[in-house]
Amino acid sequence: MAGILLGVTGGIAAYKSLDVLRILQRHGHDVMVVMTTAAQRFVGTASFAALSGREVGTALFGASEQPGYHHLDVARDRDLMLICPASANTIAKLAAGMADSLLGSCYIAFAGPVLVAPAMNTQMWLHPAQQENLERLRRHGVEIIDPASGLLADGAVGPGRLADPQDIVDAVERRLAAPGGEGPLAGRRVLVTAGGTREPIDAVRYVGNRSSGRMGWAIADAARARGAEVTVVAANVDLPRRPDVRYVEAPTAAAMHRACLAEFPAADLLAMVAAVADYRPVRRAEGKLDKSAADALAVQLERTDDILADLAARRRPGQVLVGFAAEHGPQGLDRARDKRRRKGVDVVVHNDAAVEGAAFEGPDNIITIIGPGDAEEALPRMTKRDCAERILDAAQALVGAAPAGSAP
Ligand code: CTP
Protein backbone atom coordinates (compact mmCIF):
# COMPACT_ATOMS: atom_id res chain seq x y z
CA MET A 1 0.00 0.00 0.00
CA ALA A 2 2.48 2.70 1.13
CA GLY A 3 6.25 3.00 1.11
CA ILE A 4 7.47 3.65 4.64
CA LEU A 5 10.91 4.66 5.86
CA LEU A 6 11.35 3.26 9.37
CA GLY A 7 14.09 4.94 11.41
CA VAL A 8 15.30 3.00 14.45
CA THR A 9 17.37 4.69 17.16
CA GLY A 10 19.20 3.46 20.25
CA GLY A 11 17.03 2.31 23.12
CA ILE A 12 15.84 -0.85 24.81
CA ALA A 13 12.53 -0.47 22.95
CA ALA A 14 14.36 -0.98 19.61
CA TYR A 15 13.28 -4.63 19.61
CA LYS A 16 9.63 -3.52 19.64
CA SER A 17 10.08 -1.81 16.29
CA LEU A 18 10.48 -5.32 14.83
CA ASP A 19 6.82 -5.82 15.81
CA VAL A 20 5.91 -2.50 14.22
CA LEU A 21 7.72 -3.59 11.05
CA ARG A 22 5.87 -6.92 10.98
CA ILE A 23 2.45 -5.33 11.42
CA LEU A 24 3.18 -2.75 8.71
CA GLN A 25 4.17 -5.55 6.37
CA ARG A 26 1.12 -7.65 7.21
CA HIS A 27 -0.92 -4.62 6.16
CA GLY A 28 0.84 -4.65 2.80
CA HIS A 29 3.24 -1.72 3.29
CA ASP A 30 6.73 -1.73 1.84
CA VAL A 31 9.16 -0.84 4.65
CA MET A 32 12.75 0.32 4.31
CA VAL A 33 14.78 0.52 7.54
CA VAL A 34 17.47 2.98 8.57
CA MET A 35 19.28 2.45 11.90
CA THR A 36 21.56 4.68 13.92
CA THR A 37 24.84 3.29 15.28
CA ALA A 38 23.37 3.24 18.80
CA ALA A 39 20.31 1.28 17.60
CA GLN A 40 22.61 -1.47 16.34
CA ARG A 41 23.90 -1.99 19.88
CA PHE A 42 20.40 -3.09 20.89
CA VAL A 43 19.19 -5.02 17.81
CA GLY A 44 21.31 -6.18 14.89
CA THR A 45 20.68 -5.07 11.32
CA ALA A 46 20.19 -8.73 10.31
CA SER A 47 16.76 -8.95 12.00
CA PHE A 48 15.47 -5.83 10.25
CA ALA A 49 17.00 -6.88 6.92
CA ALA A 50 15.44 -10.35 7.14
CA LEU A 51 11.97 -9.05 8.03
CA SER A 52 11.92 -6.11 5.62
CA GLY A 53 13.53 -8.08 2.79
CA ARG A 54 15.77 -5.09 2.10
CA GLU A 55 19.24 -3.94 2.96
CA VAL A 56 19.26 -1.81 6.12
CA GLY A 57 20.67 1.71 5.80
CA THR A 58 23.29 2.52 8.44
CA ALA A 59 26.03 4.66 6.93
CA LEU A 60 25.75 8.23 5.75
CA PHE A 61 28.02 7.49 2.85
CA GLY A 62 27.20 4.59 0.55
CA ALA A 63 29.89 2.42 -1.01
CA SER A 64 32.40 4.70 -2.68
CA GLU A 65 31.79 3.18 -6.11
CA GLN A 66 28.08 4.05 -5.89
CA PRO A 67 27.21 7.30 -7.61
CA GLY A 68 24.53 9.67 -6.27
CA TYR A 69 23.50 11.01 -2.87
CA HIS A 70 22.81 8.12 -0.53
CA HIS A 71 20.48 9.87 1.97
CA LEU A 72 18.44 11.38 -0.85
CA ASP A 73 18.17 8.01 -2.55
CA VAL A 74 16.96 6.37 0.65
CA ALA A 75 14.27 9.00 1.30
CA ARG A 76 13.12 9.23 -2.32
CA ASP A 77 9.74 7.68 -3.20
CA ARG A 78 8.80 7.00 0.43
CA ASP A 79 5.28 8.08 1.44
CA LEU A 80 5.94 8.48 5.16
CA MET A 81 8.80 8.40 7.66
CA LEU A 82 8.36 6.80 11.07
CA ILE A 83 11.07 7.06 13.74
CA CYS A 84 10.49 4.32 16.29
CA PRO A 85 11.73 4.22 18.92
CA ALA A 86 13.04 7.78 19.00
CA SER A 87 15.66 8.36 21.70
CA ALA A 88 16.10 11.67 23.57
CA ASN A 89 19.37 12.19 21.71
CA THR A 90 17.84 11.67 18.25
CA ILE A 91 14.86 13.89 19.08
CA ALA A 92 17.27 16.69 20.10
CA LYS A 93 19.21 16.27 16.86
CA LEU A 94 16.09 16.23 14.70
CA ALA A 95 14.77 19.35 16.45
CA ALA A 96 18.06 21.10 15.66
CA GLY A 97 18.09 19.79 12.08
CA MET A 98 21.42 18.03 12.58
CA ALA A 99 22.34 15.73 9.71
CA ASP A 100 25.37 13.86 11.08
CA SER A 101 23.83 10.41 10.57
CA LEU A 102 21.99 8.70 7.72
CA LEU A 103 18.77 8.89 9.75
CA GLY A 104 19.22 12.60 10.51
CA SER A 105 19.99 13.51 6.92
CA CYS A 106 17.10 11.40 5.61
CA TYR A 107 14.86 13.33 8.01
CA ILE A 108 15.75 16.77 6.70
CA ALA A 109 15.86 15.53 3.11
CA PHE A 110 12.32 14.12 3.40
CA ALA A 111 9.34 16.26 2.41
CA GLY A 112 6.50 13.84 3.38
CA PRO A 113 4.76 13.27 6.73
CA VAL A 114 6.99 12.28 9.67
CA LEU A 115 5.83 10.47 12.81
CA VAL A 116 8.02 10.08 15.88
CA ALA A 117 7.38 7.50 18.62
CA PRO A 118 9.61 8.39 21.60
CA ALA A 119 10.73 5.91 24.25
CA MET A 120 12.91 6.84 27.20
CA ASN A 121 13.24 7.01 30.97
CA THR A 122 10.57 9.12 32.71
CA GLN A 123 13.02 11.77 33.96
CA MET A 124 14.41 12.22 30.45
CA TRP A 125 10.88 12.42 29.02
CA LEU A 126 9.83 15.07 31.54
CA HIS A 127 12.99 17.18 31.23
CA PRO A 128 12.20 20.67 29.90
CA ALA A 129 14.87 20.33 27.19
CA GLN A 130 13.15 17.21 25.90
CA GLN A 131 9.67 18.78 26.01
CA GLU A 132 10.96 21.89 24.21
CA ASN A 133 12.54 19.70 21.52
CA LEU A 134 9.24 17.85 21.05
CA GLU A 135 7.39 21.15 20.83
CA ARG A 136 9.84 22.27 18.18
CA LEU A 137 9.29 19.08 16.17
CA ARG A 138 5.51 19.61 16.40
CA ARG A 139 5.98 23.14 15.05
CA HIS A 140 7.91 21.59 12.15
CA GLY A 141 4.83 19.46 11.38
CA VAL A 142 6.04 16.22 12.98
CA GLU A 143 3.39 14.08 14.68
CA ILE A 144 4.47 12.77 18.08
CA ILE A 145 3.02 9.42 19.14
CA ASP A 146 3.02 9.90 22.89
CA PRO A 147 4.64 7.16 24.97
CA ALA A 148 2.52 5.11 27.35
CA SER A 149 2.80 5.17 31.13
CA GLY A 150 3.84 2.05 32.94
CA LEU A 151 6.74 0.03 34.25
CA LEU A 152 9.91 1.03 32.41
CA ALA A 153 13.01 -1.07 31.73
CA ASP A 154 14.87 0.70 34.56
CA GLY A 155 12.20 -0.31 37.09
CA ALA A 156 10.64 3.18 37.34
CA VAL A 157 6.93 3.70 36.74
CA GLY A 158 5.78 6.65 34.66
CA PRO A 159 5.51 7.99 31.13
CA GLY A 160 8.21 7.00 28.64
CA ARG A 161 7.33 3.49 27.51
CA LEU A 162 7.06 3.12 23.75
CA ALA A 163 3.40 3.22 22.62
CA ASP A 164 1.84 -0.12 21.73
CA PRO A 165 3.07 -1.31 18.27
CA GLN A 166 -0.50 -1.66 16.97
CA ASP A 167 -1.31 1.90 18.12
CA ILE A 168 1.81 3.14 16.32
CA VAL A 169 0.72 1.43 13.09
CA ASP A 170 -2.79 2.86 13.54
CA ALA A 171 -1.30 6.37 13.82
CA VAL A 172 0.73 5.76 10.65
CA GLU A 173 -2.30 4.52 8.74
CA ARG A 174 -4.49 7.34 10.03
CA ARG A 175 -1.93 9.76 8.69
CA LEU A 176 -1.80 7.99 5.34
CA ALA A 177 -5.61 8.06 5.20
CA ALA A 178 -5.91 11.72 6.24
CA PRO A 179 -7.88 14.02 3.90
CA GLY A 180 -6.05 14.15 0.63
CA GLY A 181 -4.41 10.85 1.65
CA GLU A 182 -4.88 7.41 0.27
CA GLY A 183 -6.92 4.42 1.39
CA PRO A 184 -9.18 1.98 -0.42
CA LEU A 185 -12.19 3.11 1.66
CA ALA A 186 -11.46 6.86 1.44
CA GLY A 187 -14.73 8.75 0.99
CA ARG A 188 -16.80 5.73 2.14
CA ARG A 189 -18.93 5.54 5.27
CA VAL A 190 -18.70 2.43 7.39
CA LEU A 191 -21.23 1.65 10.14
CA VAL A 192 -20.19 -0.91 12.75
CA THR A 193 -22.26 -2.26 15.63
CA ALA A 194 -20.32 -3.64 18.57
CA GLY A 195 -20.70 -5.11 22.04
CA GLY A 196 -23.63 -6.93 23.58
CA THR A 197 -27.04 -5.56 24.43
CA ARG A 198 -28.41 -5.73 27.99
CA GLU A 199 -32.15 -6.14 28.42
CA PRO A 200 -33.31 -4.87 31.82
CA ILE A 201 -35.14 -7.11 34.28
CA ASP A 202 -35.32 -4.35 36.89
CA ALA A 203 -33.37 -1.19 37.74
CA VAL A 204 -30.10 -3.09 38.37
CA ARG A 205 -30.39 -6.51 36.67
CA TYR A 206 -30.37 -7.49 33.04
CA VAL A 207 -30.29 -10.33 30.53
CA GLY A 208 -26.99 -9.99 28.70
CA ASN A 209 -24.18 -11.82 26.94
CA ARG A 210 -20.39 -12.07 27.03
CA SER A 211 -19.56 -9.91 24.02
CA SER A 212 -16.72 -7.46 24.81
CA GLY A 213 -16.91 -5.33 21.67
CA ARG A 214 -13.33 -6.20 20.62
CA MET A 215 -14.25 -7.62 17.21
CA GLY A 216 -16.36 -4.56 16.33
CA TRP A 217 -13.61 -2.25 17.61
CA ALA A 218 -11.09 -4.06 15.40
CA ILE A 219 -13.29 -3.58 12.33
CA ALA A 220 -13.69 0.12 13.16
CA ASP A 221 -9.88 0.48 13.49
CA ALA A 222 -9.24 -1.38 10.24
CA ALA A 223 -11.87 0.65 8.34
CA ARG A 224 -10.40 3.92 9.66
CA ALA A 225 -6.95 2.80 8.61
CA ARG A 226 -8.36 2.26 5.10
CA GLY A 227 -9.60 5.84 5.02
CA ALA A 228 -13.32 5.31 5.77
CA GLU A 229 -15.47 7.64 7.85
CA VAL A 230 -16.56 5.36 10.69
CA THR A 231 -19.56 5.36 13.02
CA VAL A 232 -19.84 2.76 15.78
CA VAL A 233 -23.13 1.92 17.46
CA ALA A 234 -21.90 0.54 20.78
CA ALA A 235 -23.74 -1.64 23.29
CA ASN A 236 -22.02 -1.59 26.69
CA VAL A 237 -18.44 -1.56 25.45
CA ASP A 238 -15.72 -0.73 27.95
CA LEU A 239 -12.82 -0.18 25.52
CA PRO A 240 -10.86 2.99 24.63
CA ARG A 241 -12.61 5.37 22.22
CA ARG A 242 -10.70 7.05 19.41
CA PRO A 243 -11.12 10.70 18.50
CA ASP A 244 -11.61 10.12 14.78
CA VAL A 245 -14.56 7.72 15.09
CA ARG A 246 -18.14 8.72 15.96
CA TYR A 247 -19.81 6.65 18.68
CA VAL A 248 -23.54 6.24 19.32
CA GLU A 249 -24.45 4.53 22.59
CA ALA A 250 -27.17 1.88 22.32
CA PRO A 251 -27.35 -0.32 25.42
CA THR A 252 -30.49 -2.34 24.54
CA ALA A 253 -31.75 -4.12 21.41
CA ALA A 254 -34.46 -1.48 20.99
CA ALA A 255 -31.96 1.39 21.31
CA MET A 256 -29.65 -0.33 18.84
CA HIS A 257 -32.51 -0.79 16.38
CA ARG A 258 -33.37 2.92 16.59
CA ALA A 259 -29.73 3.99 16.21
CA CYS A 260 -29.19 1.66 13.24
CA LEU A 261 -32.32 2.92 11.47
CA ALA A 262 -30.98 6.48 11.85
CA GLU A 263 -27.41 5.70 10.75
CA PHE A 264 -27.88 3.05 8.09
CA PRO A 265 -29.17 5.22 5.18
CA ALA A 266 -25.85 7.10 4.95
CA ALA A 267 -23.66 3.99 5.21
CA ASP A 268 -21.89 2.30 2.30
CA LEU A 269 -20.94 -0.70 4.40
CA LEU A 270 -22.57 -2.13 7.53
CA ALA A 271 -20.74 -4.60 9.76
CA MET A 272 -23.31 -5.92 12.21
CA VAL A 273 -20.95 -7.33 14.80
CA ALA A 274 -22.99 -6.68 17.96
CA ALA A 275 -24.44 -9.58 19.90
CA VAL A 276 -28.03 -8.41 19.96
CA ALA A 277 -30.30 -10.15 22.47
CA ASP A 278 -32.86 -12.35 20.73
CA TYR A 279 -35.18 -12.08 23.75
CA ARG A 280 -35.94 -9.38 26.32
CA PRO A 281 -38.06 -9.37 29.49
CA VAL A 282 -41.66 -8.50 28.66
CA ARG A 283 -41.79 -6.13 31.64
CA ARG A 284 -39.08 -4.18 33.41
CA ALA A 285 -39.86 -4.23 37.15
CA GLU A 286 -40.06 -0.91 38.96
CA GLY A 287 -37.02 -0.31 41.19
CA LYS A 288 -35.14 -3.41 42.37
CA LEU A 289 -36.90 -6.77 42.72
CA ASP A 290 -37.02 -7.87 46.37
CA LYS A 291 -36.01 -11.52 46.93
CA SER A 292 -38.03 -11.77 50.14
CA ALA A 293 -41.20 -11.41 48.03
CA ALA A 294 -40.95 -14.94 46.51
CA ASP A 295 -38.84 -18.14 46.58
CA ALA A 296 -38.83 -18.42 42.81
CA LEU A 297 -38.99 -15.87 40.07
CA ALA A 298 -40.12 -16.37 36.48
CA VAL A 299 -39.07 -13.75 33.99
CA GLN A 300 -41.10 -13.90 30.83
CA LEU A 301 -39.14 -13.07 27.67
CA GLU A 302 -40.33 -11.87 24.28
CA ARG A 303 -38.56 -11.79 20.92
CA THR A 304 -36.68 -8.67 19.88
CA ASP A 305 -36.69 -7.40 16.29
CA ASP A 306 -34.02 -8.81 13.98
CA ILE A 307 -32.16 -5.59 13.21
CA LEU A 308 -29.93 -7.02 10.48
CA ALA A 309 -32.85 -8.57 8.58
CA ASP A 310 -34.79 -5.31 8.90
CA LEU A 311 -31.88 -3.23 7.55
CA ALA A 312 -31.29 -5.73 4.72
CA ALA A 313 -34.94 -5.29 3.69
CA ARG A 314 -34.43 -1.50 3.57
CA ARG A 315 -31.06 -1.49 1.78
CA ARG A 316 -30.61 0.76 -1.21
CA PRO A 317 -28.60 -0.43 -4.22
CA GLY A 318 -24.89 -0.40 -3.53
CA GLN A 319 -25.05 -0.84 0.26
CA VAL A 320 -22.96 -3.77 1.46
CA LEU A 321 -24.00 -5.77 4.53
CA VAL A 322 -21.85 -8.02 6.68
CA GLY A 323 -23.48 -10.13 9.40
CA PHE A 324 -22.00 -12.35 12.07
CA ALA A 325 -23.03 -15.81 13.15
CA ALA A 326 -21.77 -17.01 16.52
CA GLU A 327 -22.73 -20.66 16.29
CA HIS A 328 -22.16 -23.57 18.59
CA GLY A 329 -20.97 -26.95 17.32
CA PRO A 330 -20.48 -28.80 14.06
CA GLN A 331 -23.73 -27.88 12.29
CA GLY A 332 -22.90 -24.19 12.77
CA LEU A 333 -21.38 -23.59 9.34
CA ASP A 334 -24.52 -24.78 7.59
CA ARG A 335 -26.63 -22.58 9.84
CA ALA A 336 -24.36 -19.61 9.05
CA ARG A 337 -24.67 -20.27 5.28
CA ASP A 338 -28.41 -20.42 5.70
CA LYS A 339 -28.38 -17.21 7.79
CA ARG A 340 -26.69 -15.35 4.93
CA ARG A 341 -29.48 -16.31 2.54
CA ARG A 342 -32.27 -15.83 5.07
CA LYS A 343 -31.15 -12.40 6.25
CA GLY A 344 -30.28 -11.20 2.75
CA VAL A 345 -26.70 -10.07 3.52
CA ASP A 346 -23.60 -10.18 1.33
CA VAL A 347 -21.12 -11.69 3.76
CA VAL A 348 -21.58 -13.71 6.96
CA VAL A 349 -18.68 -14.20 9.34
CA HIS A 350 -19.00 -17.51 11.15
CA ASN A 351 -17.29 -18.39 14.38
CA ASP A 352 -17.76 -21.42 16.55
CA ALA A 353 -18.32 -20.34 20.14
CA ALA A 354 -17.59 -23.92 21.25
CA VAL A 355 -13.93 -23.68 20.14
CA GLU A 356 -11.31 -22.40 22.55
CA GLY A 357 -9.83 -19.13 21.24
CA ALA A 358 -12.82 -18.28 19.02
CA ALA A 359 -15.42 -15.59 19.56
CA PHE A 360 -16.05 -13.90 22.88
CA GLU A 361 -13.80 -11.82 25.14
CA GLY A 362 -10.31 -12.84 23.98
CA PRO A 363 -7.91 -11.04 21.60
CA ASP A 364 -8.12 -13.77 18.91
CA ASN A 365 -10.81 -15.28 16.75
CA ILE A 366 -11.21 -18.25 14.39
CA ILE A 367 -13.55 -17.34 11.58
CA THR A 368 -14.93 -18.52 8.27
CA ILE A 369 -15.92 -15.77 5.85
CA ILE A 370 -18.96 -16.87 3.82
CA GLY A 371 -19.60 -14.80 0.71
CA PRO A 372 -19.75 -12.72 -1.32
CA GLY A 373 -21.32 -15.11 -3.81
CA ASP A 374 -20.04 -18.66 -3.43
CA ALA A 375 -16.71 -17.62 -1.91
CA GLU A 376 -15.87 -19.21 1.42
CA GLU A 377 -12.66 -18.78 3.36
CA ALA A 378 -11.84 -20.72 6.52
CA LEU A 379 -9.08 -18.88 8.40
CA PRO A 380 -6.74 -20.14 11.13
CA ARG A 381 -6.70 -18.55 14.57
CA MET A 382 -5.51 -14.94 14.32
CA THR A 383 -5.92 -11.62 16.12
CA LYS A 384 -9.26 -9.89 15.83
CA ARG A 385 -7.53 -7.05 14.00
CA ASP A 386 -6.20 -9.49 11.39
CA CYS A 387 -9.69 -11.03 11.11
CA ALA A 388 -11.04 -7.50 10.56
CA GLU A 389 -8.58 -6.94 7.71
CA ARG A 390 -9.67 -10.17 6.00
CA ILE A 391 -13.36 -9.34 6.46
CA LEU A 392 -12.83 -5.90 4.94
CA ASP A 393 -10.83 -7.45 2.08
CA ALA A 394 -13.91 -9.58 1.28
CA ALA A 395 -16.47 -6.76 1.65
CA GLN A 396 -14.39 -3.98 0.13
CA ALA A 397 -14.54 -5.35 -3.40
CA LEU A 398 -18.33 -4.97 -3.30
CA VAL A 399 -18.11 -1.44 -1.87
CA GLY A 400 -15.68 -0.56 -4.64
CA ALA A 401 -18.25 -1.63 -7.21
CA ALA A 402 -20.96 0.61 -5.73
CA PRO A 403 -21.44 4.39 -5.98
CA ALA A 404 -20.43 6.32 -2.79
CA GLY A 405 -23.15 6.76 -0.12
CA SER A 406 -25.36 9.83 -0.15
CA ALA A 407 -24.83 12.23 2.73
CA PRO A 408 -27.76 12.32 5.18
N1 CTP B 1 -28.83 -9.75 14.90
C2 CTP B 1 -29.64 -8.64 14.80
N3 CTP B 1 -30.76 -8.51 15.59
C4 CTP B 1 -31.09 -9.47 16.45
C5 CTP B 1 -30.28 -10.62 16.58
C6 CTP B 1 -29.14 -10.73 15.79
O7 CTP B 1 -29.35 -7.77 13.98
N8 CTP B 1 -32.16 -9.31 17.22
C9 CTP B 1 -27.65 -9.86 14.02
C10 CTP B 1 -26.33 -10.02 14.73
O11 CTP B 1 -25.72 -8.78 14.96
C12 CTP B 1 -25.53 -10.85 13.75
C13 CTP B 1 -26.57 -11.68 13.04
O14 CTP B 1 -27.81 -11.00 13.26
O15 CTP B 1 -24.89 -10.03 12.77
C16 CTP B 1 -26.68 -13.10 13.52
O17 CTP B 1 -27.05 -13.15 14.84
P18 CTP B 1 -27.40 -14.54 15.55
O19 CTP B 1 -27.90 -14.24 16.90
O20 CTP B 1 -26.26 -15.46 15.44
O21 CTP B 1 -28.49 -15.09 14.62
P22 CTP B 1 -30.03 -15.15 14.79
O23 CTP B 1 -30.66 -14.22 13.85
O24 CTP B 1 -30.40 -14.96 16.21
O25 CTP B 1 -30.28 -16.59 14.28
P26 CTP B 1 -30.65 -17.90 15.06
O27 CTP B 1 -30.92 -17.52 16.48
O28 CTP B 1 -31.82 -18.34 14.32
O29 CTP B 1 -29.46 -18.77 14.90
- Domains in the chain (CATH in brackets) are 3-177 (3.40.50.1950), 189-396 (3.40.50.10300)
Ligand 1 atom 25: residue of nearest CA? 339
- Residues 170 and 225 sit within 8 Å (Cβ to Cβ): yes
**What does DSSP assign to residue 34?**
E
366 confidence band (pLDDT: 50, 70, 90): very high
pLDDT above 60: residue 407: no
Mean pLDDT of 304-329: 95
Find the range with the poorest average confidence among 27-31, 114-118, 348-352. 27-31
- Distance in Å, CA 325 to ligand 1 centroid: 7
**What does DSSP assign to residue 317?**
T
144 confidence band (pLDDT: 50, 70, 90): very high
Share of the chain above pLDDT 70, in %: 93
Three-class secondary structure of residue 186 per DSSP: coil
Q: What is the pLDDT of residues 46-90, one digit of tens each?
A: 999 999 999 999 987 765 555 555 667 777 778 899 999 999 999
Q: What is the pLDDT of residues 147-206, one digit of tens each?
A: 999 888 888 888 999 999 999 999 998 888 765 456 788 889 999 999 999 999 999 999
Site residues for ligand 1, CB cut-off 6 Å? 253, 272, 274, 276, 278, 304, 306-308, 323-326, 335, 339
Rounded to the nearest 10 degrees, the angle between the axes of helix 88-96 and helix 102-109 is: 40
Mean pLDDT of 2-7: 94
- Rounded Cα–Cα distance for residues 231 and 229 (Å): 7
The H or E element containing residue 332 is helix 332-343
Residue 209: active-site member: yes
C-alpha angle with apex 152: 6 to 116, nearest 5 degrees? 25
